[in-house]
């Protein structure tokens, strides 16, 4: 019998402004592993502003 195994794929890390030791550690780990780190959502490959609805905007 085959068993399903979860697969984790990390494309990159989006580091938002603000103090966070955990987020800083995530960034350090990503850099050590050669994983891209972005500091602006606009820099994330594939991001399109048209795909994101404003938070709190009426539908």
Average pLDDT over the chain reads 85
Instruction: Identify the CA nearest to 39 among candidates 30, 58, 54, 3.
Output: 30
Higher pLDDT, 5 or 23: 23
Band the pLDDT of 43: cuts 50, 70, 90: very high
How close are the terminal C-alpha atoms of the chain, in Å? Answer: 46
Name the pTM for this structure.
Answer: 0.67
Band the pLDDT of 56: cuts 50, 70, 90: low
| pLDDT score, position 18 | 96
Q: Going by DSSP bridges, is the β-strand pair 13-14/37-38 parallel, antiparallel, or unpaired?
A: parallel
């Amino acid at each position: 019998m085959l068993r399903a195994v979860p697969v984790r794929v990390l494309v990159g890390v989006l580091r938002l402004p603000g103090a966070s030791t955990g987020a800083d550690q995530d960034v350090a780990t990503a850099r050590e592993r050669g994983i891209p780190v972005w500091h602006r959502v606009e820099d994330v490959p594939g991001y399109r502003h048209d795909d994101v609805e404003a938070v709190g905007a009426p539908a």
